[in-house]
């Protein structure tokens, strides 16, 4: 094989490697879906959204069915408002509940949907009424420590 042929193969190999790195970085940042799917938009209000971010997955039974499009604070109720796009093929009932969950002990947060039993499906512009806020690990630890400090001392006192 000539020197020019080897250089061409090396260049092709380098380009494939760079394309692979770009793909992996997009996948890690949840940006790998380039296509636009048909979806409908719903909102949910939470007292505490924890560290939920836009582009976080929306899952039901462990399967990704949508993405969080925006997160903001309502100035009237001081609740976090989460807007989600859900795949059009997934028709959730209107009495669906939403929870902010964590993947693993310290993983990323996502919205979990649990379908209800109503026959009418959610449509664009609907608000999910039944929500459960994020469990913040720091709050749990501080509650535990506060409760321990409030307990009377046990042992050999008078």
pLDDT digits (tens, 9 = 90+) for 99-111: 999 887 677 889 9
Residues 81, 6 share a domain: no
Q: How many domains does the chain have?
A: 2
Residues 127, 100 share a domain: yes
R_g of the chain, CA atoms, integer Å: 23
Residues 81, 7 share a domain: no
Residues 105, 65 share a domain: yes
Q: Kind of pairing, strands 57-60 and 109-114?
A: parallel
Question: In angstroms, rounded to a whole number, what is the distance separating the alpha carbons of residues 68 and 46?
Answer: 14
Residue 156 within a domain: no
Per-residue pLDDT for 96 more than 90?
Answer: yes
pLDDT score recorded for residue 18: 93
Residues 78, 17 share a domain: no
Nearest CA among 55, 158, 38 for reference residue 91 = 38
Residues 77, 5 share a domain: no
Task: Give Cα 39 distance to the centre of its chain.
Answer: 17
The domain of 60 spans 39-144
Nearest CA among 74, 53, 72, 51 for reference residue 136 = 51
For the segment 124-147, the average pLDDT, to the nearest whole number, is: 82
Instruction: Please state, rounded to an integer, the average pLDDT across all residues of the chain.
Output: 85
């Amino acid at each position: 094989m000539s020197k020019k042929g080897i250089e061409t193969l090396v260049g092709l190999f380098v380009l494939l490697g760079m394309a692979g790195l770009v793909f992996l970085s997009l996948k890690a940042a949840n940006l790998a879906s380039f296509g636009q799917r048909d979806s409908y938009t719903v909102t949910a209000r939470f007292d505490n959204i924890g560290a939920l971010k836009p582009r976080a997955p929306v899952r039901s039974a462990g399967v990704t069915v949508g993405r969080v499009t925006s997160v903001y604070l309502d100035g009237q109720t001081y609740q976090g408002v989460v807007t989600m796009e859900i795949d059009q093929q997934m028709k959730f009932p209107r009495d669906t509940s939403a929870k902010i969950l964590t993947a693993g002990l310290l993983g990323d947060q996502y919205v979990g949907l649990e379908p209800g039993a109503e026959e009418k499906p959610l449509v664009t512009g609907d608000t999910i009424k039944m929500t459960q806020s994020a469990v913040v690990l720091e709050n749990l630890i501080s509650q535990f420590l506060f409760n321990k400090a409030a307990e009377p001392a046990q042992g050999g006192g008078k």
